[in-house]
Amino acid sequence: MKSTRKFEERPFNIYIPATEERPAVKVATITVQVWVDEDGDEILAPESLELVEKTQARYIGLLTGSDIRVLRERLKLSQLELSELLGCGEKSLSRWENGRGYPSQLVNTLLRVLDEGLLTLAQLRSLQRPRTDWAEIIFATPSSLAHFRIASTPQDAWDDCPAFGRGKLDMQLFGS
């Protein structure tokens, strides 16, 4: 015999977990679906648990799986292409998009920078080439510089960067 659970709506406080530096912080109250078991414990419905996790993620600044998928599709990239640009595994990206995990804070920050238009795909791709050894150039003698070719980011890589368009970036700093 299949038992049916009767769900009830209850207010639920959302907290950002405590860290060593600060206590837990209440950020919102949402309405969730719960059922009460025979011991009187309230059990969240799966959809409500997902809503709690998404609300916490949003307040912490994490992109949700659907946010990551929408960003990837907006950039017209496959999962393989985006995972290669981020330096992560395709399976990890798939897990994030399907809500079975979250990226590290570092990858999340990079995704947010892409999402907010502060970094373009052309700029990200330009970072895939070998890095210039500035220390060796700065401290080199003129005769030892002959083997260096300083690669600069093409000017058009910055054309669709909103921060550059608002005059917040000085291209002289970037060698363009």
Confidence at residue 50, expressed as pLDDT on a 0 to 100 scale:
84
Confidence at residue 173, expressed as pLDDT on a 0 to 100 scale:
47
pLDDT, one tens digit per residue, over 117-144 is 999 999 999 888 887 777 877 777 666 6
83 and 92 in contact (C-beta within 8 Å)?
A: yes
Measured CA distances, 122 to 54, 72, 105, 154 (Å): 30, 15, 23, 9
Q: pLDDT band at 172, cuts 50/70/90?
A: very low
pLDDT, one tens digit per residue, over 17-66 is 888 888 988 989 999 999 988 888 889 998 998 888 888 888 888 898 98
Q: For strand 8-16 and strand 25-36, is the pairing parallel, antiparallel, or unpaired?
A: antiparallel
Confidence at residue 115, expressed as pLDDT on a 0 to 100 scale:
95
Residues 6 or more apart whose CB falls under 8 angstroms from that of 123 comprise 153, 157, 158, 161
pLDDT, one tens digit per residue, over 68-97 is 999 999 999 999 999 999 999 999 999 999
Q: Where are the domains of the chain?
A: 1-60, 63-116, 132-174
pTM over cut 0.85: no
Domain 63-116 fold is 434 Repressor (Amino-terminal Domain) (1.10.260)
